[in-house]
Structure 1
Amino acid sequence: MRLLFLVLAVLTLITQYPLWLGKGGWLRVQELHAKVASQQETNEALVARNNALQAEVQDLQSGTAAIEERARTEQGMIREGEVFVQILAPHEHGPAVITPDIPERKGN
């Protein structure tokens, strides 16, 4: 009887090993579930980024307002006749103002 119990215990361990610790076992399944969840989060972030880029492309293709906005903010461009004014915070120092050397006129 004792031998039968020992044989059954060994057979049980042999059949359970692949389930828990084998190549396609429970631990591997849990690891793969974690990887899938991580990849889904990454995919969702990339989908949101792609949607934002697609909206920006449509704005750029549909009108000049988006192009003008980008030119103003990224390139610092202004329209002809406009004056560019930049207000700095009190602790910031702006670029030095350089005045061109203009000879003074005598006797007007």
Structure 2
Amino acid sequence: MRALTLTLVTLIIALQWPLWLGKGSWLRVWQLDQQVQEQKVANLKLATRNTALDAEVRDLKQGTAAIEERARNELGMIRPGEVFFQLLDHAANKNGGTH
């Protein structure tokens, strides 16, 4: 009777081993699910960035207003006959110019 019990326990352990510790175990499935969730978050951030870049590309292709705005902001473009005013932040000047 003791040998039969030992044999059945050994058989149950042998059948349960792959379920808990094997290649397709619950632990591995849980780890992969965590990785999938992290990748979904990363993909959502990249999709948002791609949408913004796509909108910027469309703006640059369709008209000169977007190109002019970018040149003004990034390159300091001023048209002939325009007057350039630079406004200083008084709060920054009171703190010694640091933010």
Same fold (TM over 0.5): yes
Distance (whole Å) between structure 2 residues aligned to residue 11 and residue 58 of structure 1: 65
Across the aligned residues of Structure 1 and Structure 2, the Cα RMSD in angstroms comes to 1.4
Q: Which residue of 1 aligns with 2:28?
A: 28
- Gapped regions of structure 2 (runs ≥ 5): none
Higher helix residue share: 2
Partner residue, 1:17: 17
Match of 1:69 in 2: 69
SS at match of 2:87: coil
Equivalent position of 1:85 in the other structure: 85
Q: TM-score, normalised by structure 2?
A: 0.89
Structure 2 distance, partners of 1:15, 1:88, is 75
Measure the CA separation in 1 of the matches of 2:63 and 2:80.
20
Identity within the alignment, %? 57
In structure 2, distance between residues paired with 1:15 and 1:25: 12
The alpha-carbon deviation at position 45 of structure 1 amounts to 0.9
Q: In the aligned structure 2, how far is the partner of 1:39 from the partner of 1:49?
A: 15
Q: 1:86, 1:21 → 2: CA distance?
A: 67
Between Structure 1 and Structure 2, whose CA radius of gyration is higher? 1
Distance 2:84 2:6 in 1: 90
Aligned to 2:4: 4
Find the aligned partners of 2:41 and 2:89 in 1 and give their Cα distance: 39
